Structure 1
Amino acid sequence: MPGSLEPLDIGVHIPYHFRCPISLELMCDPVTVCTGQTYDRSSIESWVGTGNTTCPVTRVPLSDFTLIPNHTLRRLIQEWCVANRSFGVERIPTPKQPAEPNLVRTLLSQASSGSAPFSLRVSALRRLRGLARDSDKNRSVIAALNAREILLSVVFADVVSQPSELNLESIAILSMFTLSEPECLYVASDPDRVCYLVNLLFHSSIDVRVNSAAVIENVVAGIRSPEFRTQISCSDGVFEGIVGILSYPVAYNRALKVGIKALFALCLVKQHRHKAVAAGAVEALIDRLAEFEKCDAERALATVELLCRFPSGCAAFASHALTVPLL
């Protein structure tokens, strides 16, 4: 990264005013605070995020935490990078600006308005999904505006009819957030809502299936009530749906990651582990073990260990042709 290059490494001196006063590195996204001082966005956000309330340079209290992009300085830094390309300096990219709260508020209002045209609501949700996908900062802005509660109401407004584009877009956004316990209980306490999510595990689109699995995992992991965890894990088809994601022929990294997290969360409920075994969970995990990233492989093995506490799980594990070669 350009910001990590030291002067001695590249044979050129980085101008003092191009360096962040906090990190002392080349700024990639310069922003100005209310005191008039400019910092790299990531550095000042970390400074404020750890509880500091003063300007690092002037020590004056920050009366306003708004960060204003310094476009002029950023363009000067980019020009300097280009001029010093021969010394190994890479041009800093133009950063995407965080979502404006007013824009997010408008999009949420449009998406949740029952009187708005269907196409407008879907369009608003797509824009929200794009913003949420862009950065953690955007997700923080969206979450701060009561988005999760609004999206849950959109998703479960009608759990009888076939899911519409409106529902699927809302679930796609929800899958990027961690739900609070009251929000998890809102889902888990209603069998129709749980059934709705489970049915989506068999949707024709693998993306829809993965998004639904992510929400299910979120709900199971976010509730402390053993009763509700048990209700979800005993839902007809839930294990088959999750195993189906893990067994999907062209499963991409997110599908595998979400699938194993959801399966592990469900298998923590002892009473229904036999359902996971019957759904082919052991075989699916062994088949995919070599494709998991390290942390997911560890979770997969922990899940297999839980399932092997049942005779049927042990039998499935012992009879798989890849068990010995992989382990």
Structure 2
Amino acid sequence: MIFPWKRRKAGRAGARKDEFLDVELTIPTYFRCPISLDLMKDPVTLSTGITYDRESIEKWIDTGNKTCPVTNQVLRSFDQTPNHAIRKMIQDWCVENKSYGIERIPTPRIPITPYEVSEICSRIEAATQRRDAIKCLDLLRKMKNLAKESERNKRCIVQNGASCALAACFELFASLSIEEYTDLLKEILSALTWTFPLGEKGISKLGSAISLHCIALFLKGDDLSSRKHAVLVLKELISEDQDFVNSLMEIEGTVEALFQIVKVPICPTATKACLVVIYHMTLSQNSEMITLKFVEIGLIPFILEILVDGDKSICEMALGILDHISSRDQGRKGMYENALTIPLLVKKILRVSNTATRFVVSILWKLCMGENENAVVESMQLGAFEKLLVVLQVGCGENSKAQVTELLKLMNLYKDELDCYASSLGFKFLKRPN
């Protein structure tokens, strides 16, 4: 196969450094992975005798395929034997063609095995029982370095009990002294963000009162990385077991700490995780008290701001929170007082996803049916009537259908007073969201 490469011009006096010459370079076919057709970085051979790049064949197998892509034979085993001969030939070829700008492919590291992961986890558990924080930190950093080497290593670590060992370690040292073992606890929290799911034992350790208290302290701290890791772990915990919400709400300052992450974003990932936690909190047994607290500290304007340019998942979660807030009198009052509420809600109808539209319909229904004439009039002026008609046409759930019908009947009462109908809006060309 022939690939175009750019080589710096040579042999001409005064040639500028940024001048390049287009050349064509042939890459031997047996150097290319049969799946990706790229130069192999880590060639491995299957039981069928065909060599692939490790990353490509692992993706093939991980998606559920059980055959050799080239021969279509059923694989007797999924073992992948490193093909050192081909790898050495590829490296030599790269060196020979260095003048064409080709960099030598580094010798790949041998992937970690499940046995090695189990061995590290056992050593962490033993060090935890001895209360040897230094050894735990050393083993944890070794595990993190192995995970950084490749996605395969990371998957192997996750699948072989790492999270359970780390959760137990976190709980023990948090119970001894958070101040004394801050560095270790921060490192564990960082690792836990990519080692979920925990499993039953791990959840019991990380979801204990001691562990949650420690996580909440990091959530309220000044270290941005620790705050990010804390909210990511809380999101995973709550997603696995809703009961942790009540325990979390009993910790003083948690609501304010979550609000700060929404108010002063750390990163999109942290914002999304924070919204998930808040969403579950507004669904809890103490939802009324929590909702009022979020409204009082000023959450609504920042949730509305997120809606302006948030991506699909963030918009869905933000609208879900507003839907819960609008179920309360104080929440509706706070939304009425914000000038962006109705315009943003109407704009999001049929613009994000079916889930987002369902939330918007529910929120508008609560705002308009709450005997607030201004909400009805403003919605109509912004084109909500026409958009709601389209929602019925493209289809929606029974609950949403009933809410849309009631909204249309209510808005219809104002049709003689407002000139808000525009038959030329072209909604018939609107595509149904995914």
Normalising by structure 1, what TM-score?
Answer: 0.77
2:42 and 2:280 map into 1 onto residues whose CA distance is 39
**Farther off after superposition, 106-115 or 140-149:** 106-115
Matched, 1:303 2:321: yes
1:31 and 1:109 map into 2 onto residues whose CA distance is 30
Q: Give, as a single letter, the amino acid of the residue that structure 1 aligns with 2:79.
A: T
Partner of 1:267: 282
After TM superposition, the structure 1 = structure 2 runs for residues 235-250 of structure 1, keeping only pairs within 5 Å, are 235-248=251-264
Partner of 1:40: 53
After TM superposition, the structure 1 = structure 2 runs for residues 78-97 of structure 1, keeping only pairs within 5 Å, are 80=93, 83=97, 94=106
1:325 and 1:151 map into 2 onto residues whose CA distance is 47
User: What SS class does the counterpart of residue 52 from structure 2 fall into?
Assistant: strand
1:270-305 per-position Cα deviation (integer Å, ceiling 9, x unaligned): 642414334443233334455744432332233233
Identify if the C-alpha distance between structure 1 residues 237 and 8 changes in structure 2 by more than 3 Å, giving closer, same or farther: same
Matched, 1:218 2:236: yes
Question: Structure 2: 5+ residue runs without aligned partners?
Answer: 6-23, 348-434
2:341 and 2:169 map into 1 onto residues whose CA distance is 44
After TM superposition, the structure 1 = structure 2 runs for residues 25-174 of structure 1, keeping only pairs within 5 Å, are 25-57=38-70, 62-74=75-87, 76-77=89-90, 80=93, 83=97, 94=106, 98-112=111-125, 113-114=127-128, 115=130, 117-160=132-175, 161-163=177-179, 164=181, 165-174=183-192
1:315 and 1:271 map into 2 onto residues whose CA distance is 20
Judge conservation of contact 2:43–2:86 (CA < 8 Å) in 1: yes
2:174 and 2:194 map into 1 onto residues whose CA distance is 21
Identify if the C-alpha distance between structure 1 residues 261 and 13 changes in structure 2 by more than 3 Å, giving closer, same or farther: farther
Residue 152 of structure 1 and its aligned partner are, at CA, apart by 0.9
2:237 and 2:3 map into 1 onto residues whose CA distance is 51
Q: Give, as a single letter, the amino acid of the residue that structure 1 aligns with 2:178.
A: Q
1:36 and 1:294 map into 2 onto residues whose CA distance is 45
Residue 148 of structure 1 and its aligned partner are, at CA, apart by 1.3
Judge conservation of contact 1:217–1:265 (CA < 8 Å) in 2: no
Question: Structure 1: 5+ residue runs without aligned partners?
Answer: 1-5
Residue 324 of structure 1 and its aligned partner are, at CA, apart by 7.0
Partner of 1:195: 213
Normalising by structure 2, what TM-score?
Answer: 0.61
Q: Give, as a single letter, the amino acid of the residue that structure 1 aligns with 2:156.
A: V
Identity of aligned residues (%): 27
Partner of 2:431: none
1:263 and 1:157 map into 2 onto residues whose CA distance is 28
Identify if the C-alpha distance between structure 1 residues 63 and 205 changes in structure 2 by more than 3 Å, giving closer, same or farther: same
Identify if the C-alpha distance between structure 1 residues 238 and 29 changes in structure 2 by more than 3 Å, giving closer, same or farther: same
Partner of 2:271: 256
Q: Give, as a single letter, the amino acid of the residue that structure 2 aligns with 1:15.
A: P
Partner of 2:14: none
User: What SS class does the counterpart of residue 176 from structure 1 fall into?
Assistant: coil
Judge conservation of contact 2:238–2:245 (CA < 8 Å) in 1: yes
2:328 and 2:202 map into 1 onto residues whose CA distance is 29
Identify if the C-alpha distance between structure 1 residues 20 and 120 changes in structure 2 by more than 3 Å, giving closer, same or farther: same
Identify if the C-alpha distance between structure 1 residues 324 and 54 changes in structure 2 by more than 3 Å, giving closer, same or farther: closer
**Larger-Rg structure:** 2
Identify if the C-alpha distance between structure 1 residues 120 and 245 changes in structure 2 by more than 3 Å, giving closer, same or farther: same
Judge conservation of contact 2:33–2:39 (CA < 8 Å) in 1: yes
Identify if the C-alpha distance between structure 1 residues 76 and 291 changes in structure 2 by more than 3 Å, giving closer, same or farther: farther
Residue 106 of structure 1 and its aligned partner are, at CA, apart by 4.3
User: What SS class does the counterpart of residue 66 from structure 1 fall into?
Assistant: coil
Judge conservation of contact 1:28–1:92 (CA < 8 Å) in 2: no
Matched, 1:20 2:38: no
Q: Give, as a single letter, the amino acid of the residue that structure 2 aligns with 1:244.
A: Q
Q: Which has the higher contact order (CA 8 A, sep 6+)?
A: 1
Q: Give, as a single letter, the amino acid of the residue that structure 2 aligns with 1:237.
A: G
**Farther off after superposition, 175-184 or 91-100:** 91-100
User: What SS class does the counterpart of residue 210 from structure 1 fall into?
Assistant: helix
User: What SS class does the counterpart of residue 31 from structure 1 fall into?
Assistant: strand
Alignment equivalent of 1:182, drawn from 189, 200, 208:
200
1:75 and 1:252 map into 2 onto residues whose CA distance is 42
1:284 and 1:96 map into 2 onto residues whose CA distance is 46
The CA RMSD measured in Å over matched residues stands at: 3.6
Residue 205 of structure 1 and its aligned partner are, at CA, apart by 1.2
